[in-house]
Structure 1
């Protein structure tokens, strides 16, 4: 079962996959909806797929806190942006919806070797020029969504992102920033 915010999200997902949804109908997730999600989690499993904005993140946190162990699908803000600038799952292309569903992640046990706050600082993801933009790009590459520095650290742990995955995403970011013809290309970030 996929937890979404509303009927337009359900319609969009049903264009690309045969699925059942539970609609929260807003960020004030009621106890009746939580009970449906609990039952779905026990019997089928749950994927939380909310908009990449503040209300969507509030729903994601509320549901995860009430029903631990849910899986998560994420879209970037650009993937979820309409031609009029609105943000929502319902605005994503079929291709981006499928990519998000294929990259579903489960929060849970910690990775064998955790990424530390010092790793994030050394990689320029906390504080400093461009940190916000770098966190946004890292969230896209790892398919864990945008997060501030504290949230990013928590998500890296929750979604068991390995040091190898983290380093690979940082390297991809460096290659995007500095094309191979750039003499600074290939400069490694501190881990």
Structure 2
């Protein structure tokens, strides 16, 4: 079993169980989106000692937790799980706890390190021109682009920020966008 050096931040106990089925790792549980100061201090200490990977559910509360941690503990690493890989068998819930061992391992193999010095290689105008902001297909395109780049689903503003934060190259962006557009054509 693969051993992860960093401590993985998850939302709850079920997420810890799912992570430990997939890899050998220690976790910190936030116990929901109301993260207290004590938990943030534990995450800060973990980042200083071993590094931290934020691995929250691909939903609104999970994104809120990710954002809160990133604000208070800059420089963390991030792992993202596509929503379709995190659905419960009954289709009612979305979370890390529902993901397969393979999906969790895949997400942890494509971890992004947050960059504190943001360089704008891909502009907001580039996103508008690519049809990722505004228009009937923008949401679906962003969703697929997020899967291909392994940065999760975002709205337009978040996409711009994540592309900068994780220093996605213009080349990687264009390659993924080209694939999104080709897939669109095949489904017409």
TM range (shorter): over 0.9
Aligned mate of 1:5, from 6, 11, 20? 11
In structure 1, the residue matched to 2:125 is 118
SS at match of 2:9: strand
1:75 aligns with 2:51: no
1-side partners of 2:122 and 2:66: how far apart?
A: 23
Q: Which moved more, 1:170-179 or 1:39-48?
A: 170-179
Gaps of 5+ in 2: 1-6
Please report how far the alpha carbon of residue 46 of structure 1 lies from its aligned counterpart in structure 2 after TM superposition: 0.1
Of 53, 64, 68, the match for 1:47: 53
Aligned length: 180
Equivalent of 1:30, from 29, 36, 39?
A: 36
**Cα shift at 1:175:** 2.2
Report the aligned-residue RMSD.
1.4
Give distance in 2, aligned partners of 1:123 and 1:38: 38
Pairing 1:102-141 to 2, within 5 Å after superposition:
102-108=109-115, 109-111=117-119, 114-141=121-148
Q: Which residue of the other structure, out of 96, 99, 102, is the alignment partner of 1:92?
A: 99
Cα deviation 1:47-88 (Å, max 9, x = unaligned): 000001111001000100000000000011111111112100
What does the per-residue CA deviation read over 1:5-42, in whole Å, with 9 as the maximum and x for residues that have no partner?
Answer: 00110000101110000000010000010010000000
Note the residue ranges of structure 1 that are not aligned, 5 or more in a row. Answer: 183-191
Matched, 1:17 2:17: no
**Structure 2 residue 170 is matched with structure 1 residue 158:** no
Determine which structure has more spread, i.e. the larger CA radius of gyration.
1
**TM-score using structure 1 length:** 0.91
In the TM superposition, what is the alpha-carbon distance from 1:129 to its structure 2 partner?
Answer: 1.2
1:189 aligned partner: none
